[in-house]
Structure formats: structure tokens, C-alpha cells
Structure 1
Amino acid sequence: MSTSAFRTVVLDNGLRVVAVAQPQLHRAHVGLYVRVGSRYETVETNGLSHFLEHMLYRGTDRLKNAHDVNLAFERLGGYLYAATQADFGVFSVTLPPESLEQACALFSEVIHKPAFCDIEIEKGIVCEEILEDLDDEGRQVDADNLSRALIYGSHPLGFTITGDEKNVRSFTTEALRTHYVQHYNASSSVLVFSGAIDVDAAIELGAKSFGDLPRGERFQTVAPPFTQKKPRIRIVENMSSQTELRVCFRTIAENAAERPALDMFMRVLDDGMSTRLYHRICDSQGLCYDVGASYDGYEDDGVVDFVAGAQHARTTRVTEEILDLVRELGSEGPTEEELVKARQRHLWELSAMRDSPDDLGAFYAVGYLFDRFETPEEKHAKLASVTADEVRAIVRRVAQPERLNVVAVGLLENGEDKRLTDLVKGYSFK
């Protein structure tokens, strides 16, 4: 693995621009990453970041509607992509390299000059999206949303990204413009070019297209408090064929010194069907069709999530196996064979980013956005140096009862709800 040629500059307005070349590719990519999302909202404005993402692509003074915007990009060989996370938003386009200059000017127009047209139409679209997480009585049944509410409570990290219908229906053009000014500025953004580009030319293009983005101020966040004293559980009844289970441990932040050890822990747990989690629960015991584990990190906090869909009557058993597996790793640590495999797979994964302008662009942009940038080589060197004792230490730190939060959405009948509750409340780690 070798680092692709890249260059980073800070424009006069404070915007960070990074260009990373992948000359072997045949597509170019440009993306704007912004510190915007549900964690920057209040109860009253929850959902505004996501709604603003939708509204930015509805049109400009010149491009009168969403169709005109999409048509303009598609004529250049690409299409617009956008997504809102809890703590950042991304807007990007991937297209033939010969279209990059035209596309960048168009991209700049869409970001700089939103007309906020057809607001009522977009409200209807977003409200349809919100319904995907509700049951027919309007109750929240998305297990991921419920787990974040259980962990973070009234802190914005506990909010849903989309907000609710009441909020969305209340949003005005004035509210959109206020939120836009607060977040869509040079101090809160990173512009990235990747793929089949000339690095120096891309930097010049970034300065030409986004050098006039207002400097603004970087929106400050408040770290979530940690007040939990014992395990928490929430069971939500839902008519479904399986119970959606989330077993979550609140853990360290993205830029914590122990992050490489946590990454190694996650790879030993779940990096393919031969690793511990899938082998134990699916292959060996047939308790689930699929099970997974992931780390959801923020600049000041993080969560390890175990995700499974199980027969209602097996929910407690699956939870018990997950907790036992975590305890075993905290007591025994991984084997040397597991560490060797995880290091090699991590190296291959980073190398594979060279085949994707989107993935490599995101790697660089998010690192700069949250002031934790490192090259792929630097990232791998840290993970490769992790020892079994360091993995054991981070597991013992994270897998404590006061960090455990469990959500089950399904039909837990015939005492299954009590069995699960007793298991979770009785959880200990010694």
C-alpha cells in the first residue's frame, strides 16, 4: 500500500481543500463535507439539517426545480449524492474527468445559491421517509433510533436524523436560511477532490468555485454527559416476524488514543463470516440468519453496536451469547492468529480504497473535518502495532454494566420479555 499523491491547502476564506489523485481510475469525484446534522440541533429544530439537505437540491435561481438540477448533472455524466449523518453532511458528484470543471461550477451554484423552492412538496417527501421508522400507530420502531435515545436521552446525539412530522411541517424558508448560514460556511466545511484528477488543477478549481464561500464560524458542540450507573433496556412491542435486537456499549471517541485497539477488537469480532461473532451465533448454533457488530464514533463519544434479527423466543439467548463473547475477549484477549488475519485484512481494505474515489475522498475529508487526519499508512501502522493485551484492556474498559444499553423491538411473549430484562439487568463483568 502506498499513499496516492495528495495536497491540502487552506483558502483565504478558511476552507480546507484536499485533492488526492488516483490516476489509474476513469472517474473524478468532488465532495463537500459539512459539520451539520442532528447533533447540532435542538428539540424544536430536530430534522432541519436533513430537510435542508433535501432543499439544497431543489433548485437555484437559474435551475428552477429539482428536475433541472438533476438533468444538468446527468448531462455531464454523473448524478448528485447527498446524505446527512448525526454529525456531518456530505454532498458529492462522481463523473467523467473531462466534466469536472463544468460540474464543479454547477456544484458550487447549487451549494451557494439555493432558492428553497417547492418547500411544501419536499415536506411531503421527507414525511414519507419518516414513516419508514414508525408502525401503523405512529410509534417509533426503528431499533437504531431507539438505541440512541436510550443511550443519550435528551442530548442531541439521542435525536433522530429526520426529526418528526410536526417539526418538518413547521420548517420555514427563514429557518432554512438561518441554519444554512450557521453551517454552510468555510470554517465548518472540507472540499475534497479524488479520482482521475490533477492535484494542482483541482486545488485551483476548488479555489475558483468555493473561494467565496463565507468564512463563518465553526459550530461548537456540547459533549454528552455520562450519568449511567447500571444497564438499561427498552422493549418495544411490534408486530413483526422477528425481533430486532441492539446490544450497545457506550465507548470511546473517534480520536481517543485507544481507538486502534478498539478497531482491532471490532475486527476480531466481526470482519467476515469466519470471525467470532458470526461463527458463534450463526454457524455454530444457528440462532440467527445474520449478526453484525460496528463502531459508531463521534468526536467526543462513541457506541459499539451489536445488531441481530432473531426469532422472538430466541432474543434472550442471542443477547446472552453476545455478552458472553464480549466477556471472553475481555478475559482472554484475541489469539495471535486472529491479530495477524485482522492486520492483513485491514491492509487490503485500505488498499482497496484506491479503487474508489468516493471512499478515498471520504477518508481524507472526514479526517480533516474532525481534525483527526492521518494517511492510510499511518492508520494501518497504529492498528498493526496493537497487542492482545491492549485489545483485552479496551474490552474490559468498554464492556462494563454502566455502559450497556439493550433495545428489542418485537413480540417477546411467554416470559421472554422478563428473561431478557433479567439478563440485562443482571449483567456483570469481572
Structure 2
Amino acid sequence: MIQETTLANGLRIITDFMPYTLSTSISLGVQVGSRHEHDNIAGVAHFIEHLLFKGTKDMPDPLQISETIEQTGGTLNAATEHESTIYWCKIVSDFTEQSLKLLFDMIQNSLFKPQSIELERHVIIEELNGVNDDPSSKTEANLDELMWPATALGRDIAGTKETVKYISREEILNFLSTHYVGSSIVLSVAGNLKHDQVVDAVHRYSSKMSTGEKVEIPEIISTQSSRRFRSEYRDTEQIHMSMGFPGVSRGDPDRYAVDLLCTILGEGMSSRLFNEIREKRGLAYDIGSGVLHFDDIGSIQVFAGLHKTKYEEAIAVIISELDRCKYDIAESELNKVKSLITGRLKLRLEDTRFVSGWNLSQELSSSEIRRPGDVLRDIEAVTVSDVTKVAQKYMTHDRMNISIVGPVGKLSLI
């Protein structure tokens, strides 16, 4: 059972009562991410996420923060995304209130000691070095730059080594005070809990938080009209390839048709790409597809680690399979992927972490919580014609982007 309360400072609280569980999961979302940053402070949202684990007034030792959750058997973590930052924990239900207290202590009373900032600055630069050193991650990063040039979507969420090197403590604190405010925060709790007790606790722990104002993100509109290609030579044993097309936003009417299209293409061992590229031809070990939905736009992506002397053949087959989706999808195939999505979603509904995160993402993205059953009904309503139409509409050759990292020369397909 879902209940919702909005406090006077604008902070939204969602609880989902799951009486059969022993755990409770808490997801605290802030509507701020890399898309809210100016170019000169790129990476500051991610920087703050790291620093909130480095000590507060009541818990100056970072070890105290992790031990508060871990000594109970729980898990504590966080992630910065393009449009939000999420702090979450999963604990035994008996420790719900102390976990709430910890999370609100972290977002309101972190110390941001100069020495902690300098130490974490080096940690993040090493994180960026890791992305650059990993061919698969580098391929994805290059694809983002190719698809979304001169925008926040085209750079790493963690920023660049240059911006991270020079972000100041003052800039960090200014960004924090602007965005970590009641009107931009959603708390989602799922498990064996009582709504009123959660609301009372959050009211106490956030009583000094200002309402503030939500900051809108600049809209991104794709104007791509010709194919783009980028290769980067690396002496690797595989060709790492990422292919992308501009897609649809979270609220677009085509969303679920696009999701089903991507499932048909590259989700699991029964998908088209897995069977054509790996099973029938042996051209790759890892291949799949995915979809991203943002507030105003999205993307359709294919990724693969390809045989280094047969990558052109593999890419040609991939493109052929994408094109085949524009006219050749059987009702039985569509029904299979609908069943796959439905089954996986239902299995996840037993996990308080998933339920907490689901409700949070719904509220953050649309200020309306759509139950899984509502989404499944929309998925069930998608027809074969809907899927072929979105394939024709979005997977056009003039909006194709291909990023390759490995021992590659000029690609004759481009």
C-alpha cells in the first residue's frame, strides 16, 4: 500500500508497506545531476555524492557512517545520474529510524573538510582514468560525445580531469545549497513499516531544511541528420563497438514500443542479435542492446565486443537486423518479450530495494507514481505495428552513431 505526504518544506515522502518482508529499503533522491552543472564545474554533483560519505558534525569519522548501516547487516550506497542523485540503504526493518537519521545527517551536516576534498579529488580522477583505460567504457563515453556534442549528456557524469582538478570548496557548497533543498528531494521507503512513523522521523530530521526552488535543466533537441563515426586505436584483442540512435523521453507515447523493440533486439540469449551474431556466426561473445530515457530525449543503443578481424561483417549483420525490425516482427515474438518483461518485473517486486527505487524514480520523473500493473498494461497494449513503426522512425541510417575502440582502421561501412 502506497502512502504519500509532502512536508511544509516541500520534501516528498512515499512509503510502500510490504508486511511480508524483514527488510526495509530507503531511497533518497535529489533532483540534481550532471545536466544541472555549468561546464566549468562539470562533475560537481558527483563530487558532492562522494563527499557526503566523508564525515558529518556528529560522525566526523567516515567509518562511523558506513558502520552505522553495515554493522546491522545492511548496505549503503549512492549514485549520481544525469538528472538525479540517489542515496540508498537496505536494512533490517528494526533499524529504519536510525538509517533515516543517518541519511538526513549526511545531506545536511557533512563537513566538506579541505583535506577530504583534496583526497576525494584524486579518487575521482582515478575513477575517470579507469573509464579511459577500459576499452568498453571508453567506447560508451565516445558514443555519448558523438551523439550529444556540447551538452551535459556528451560528457562523463563525473566530469573531466580538468574540471575536477579545479572545482573549489566554495563552488561545492554553493551547488549543495542551491540543489539540496526540500522542493528537490524525494524520500521513498519500502518494507515492513508504518507511514506515520516515517513521516514523524523525517519531519524531525529535516526541520531545518529550506524549501528552495527546483532548477530546470536545459532542453536537448537532437538535430542530427547524417551518420557519425568515431574510432580510437587500441592494441586490444577485440573491437569494442557501441552504436546509438536518438530515442524518446520518459513520457513519450512511443516509450514502451521502443522498450519492446530493444528487448527483441538484444535482451538475453533468445534475442535476435545474440542469435545472429554470437550463436550463428561466432562473431562476438558479448552483445546486447539497451535504451535510455531522459526528461526530454533518450537513446537506443547496441553494444558488442567483436572479433577483431571480422568486425565489419558483424556490424553489417547488426545493421541488417536493425533494418529487419522495421518490417519483420511476428506476433509470437512480441508476445515472448512481453512475457519476459512482465515476469522479470513481477520477480523484482518481492525486493524492497527495487520497490523503493521504482517509486522514487516515478516521483522524480513525473511527480506521479505509476504502479507496475499500470506500466504492464501499457506494455501489453503495444502492437506489432507500433514496434515496426518506431523502428522505422528512430533507427534511421542518417541518425546512426558508431563508436569503436580497438585495433581498427577506416571502416568501409561508413
TM-score interval for Structure 1 and Structure 2 normalised by the shorter chain: over 0.9
- Is the counterpart of residue 418 in structure 1 residue 411 in structure 2? yes
In the superposition, relative to structure 1, how do residues 375 and 316 fare at CA in structure 2: closer, same or farther (>3 Å)? same
Letter in 1 for 2:384: A
Q: CA deviation at 1:172?
A: 1.8
Q: Among residues 273, 278, 288, which one is paired with 1:282 in the alignment?
A: 278
* TM-score w.r.t. length of structure 1: 0.91
In the superposition, relative to structure 1, how do residues 225 and 212 fare at CA in structure 2: closer, same or farther (>3 Å)? same
Equivalence map 1:19-418=2 (5 Å):
19-117=15-113, 118-135=116-133, 142-332=138-328, 334-371=329-366, 373-413=369-409, 417-418=410-411
2:67 and 2:109 map into 1 onto residues whose CA distance is 17
The farther-off stretch of 275-284 and 72-81 is: 72-81
DSSP 3-state at the match of 1:396: helix
Q: CA deviation at 1:365?
A: 0.5
1:274 and 1:160 map into 2 onto residues whose CA distance is 32
Letter in 1 for 2:359: Y
Letter in 2 for 1:324: S
Letter in 2 for 1:356: D
Q: CA deviation at 1:52?
A: 0.8
Letter in 1 for 2:117: I
Letter in 2 for 1:6: I
User: 5+ residue gaps in structure 2?
Assistant: none
2:31 and 2:260 map into 1 onto residues whose CA distance is 28
2:38 and 2:111 map into 1 onto residues whose CA distance is 25
DSSP 3-state at the match of 2:349: helix
Q: CA deviation at 1:211?
A: 4.7
2:169 and 2:280 map into 1 onto residues whose CA distance is 56
* TM-score w.r.t. length of structure 2: 0.95
Instruction: Tell me the matched-pair count.
Output: 411
1:257 and 1:212 map into 2 onto residues whose CA distance is 40
1:95 and 1:30 map into 2 onto residues whose CA distance is 8
1:279 and 1:297 map into 2 onto residues whose CA distance is 26
Q: CA deviation at 1:22?
A: 2.0
1:405 and 1:347 map into 2 onto residues whose CA distance is 31
Q: CA deviation at 1:106?
A: 1.7
2:204 and 2:155 map into 1 onto residues whose CA distance is 37
1:65-94 CA deviation, whole Å, 9 max, x = no partner? 322221233234323201111221110111
Letter in 2 for 1:259: R
Q: CA deviation at 1:407?
A: 0.2
1:350-395 CA deviation, whole Å, 9 max, x = no partner? 2112221111111110111011531101000000011000001111
For the Cα contact (< 8 Å) 2:221–2:297, is it kept in 1? no
For the Cα contact (< 8 Å) 2:266–2:302, is it kept in 1? no
- Identity, in percent, stands at 24
For the Cα contact (< 8 Å) 1:249–1:399, is it kept in 2? yes
For the Cα contact (< 8 Å) 1:37–1:49, is it kept in 2? yes
RMSD, aligned α-carbons: 1.8
1:60 and 1:92 map into 2 onto residues whose CA distance is 17
2:256 and 2:162 map into 1 onto residues whose CA distance is 42
For the Cα contact (< 8 Å) 2:190–2:355, is it kept in 1? yes
For the Cα contact (< 8 Å) 1:134–1:140, is it kept in 2? no
Q: CA deviation at 1:205?
A: 2.9
The farther-off stretch of 284-293 and 31-40 is: 31-40
- Is the counterpart of residue 17 in structure 1 residue 17 in structure 2? no
User: 5+ residue gaps in structure 1?
Assistant: 425-430
DSSP 3-state at the match of 1:217: coil
For the Cα contact (< 8 Å) 1:238–1:409, is it kept in 2? yes
Q: CA deviation at 1:286?
A: 1.0
For the Cα contact (< 8 Å) 1:141–1:238, is it kept in 2? no
Q: CA deviation at 1:135?
A: 4.3
1:428 corresponds in structure 2 to none
DSSP 3-state at the match of 1:370: helix
Letter in 2 for 1:44: N
1:212 and 1:375 map into 2 onto residues whose CA distance is 32
1:199 and 1:283 map into 2 onto residues whose CA distance is 51
2:407 and 2:213 map into 1 onto residues whose CA distance is 48
DSSP 3-state at the match of 2:222: coil
DSSP 3-state at the match of 1:406: strand
For the Cα contact (< 8 Å) 1:57–1:110, is it kept in 2? yes
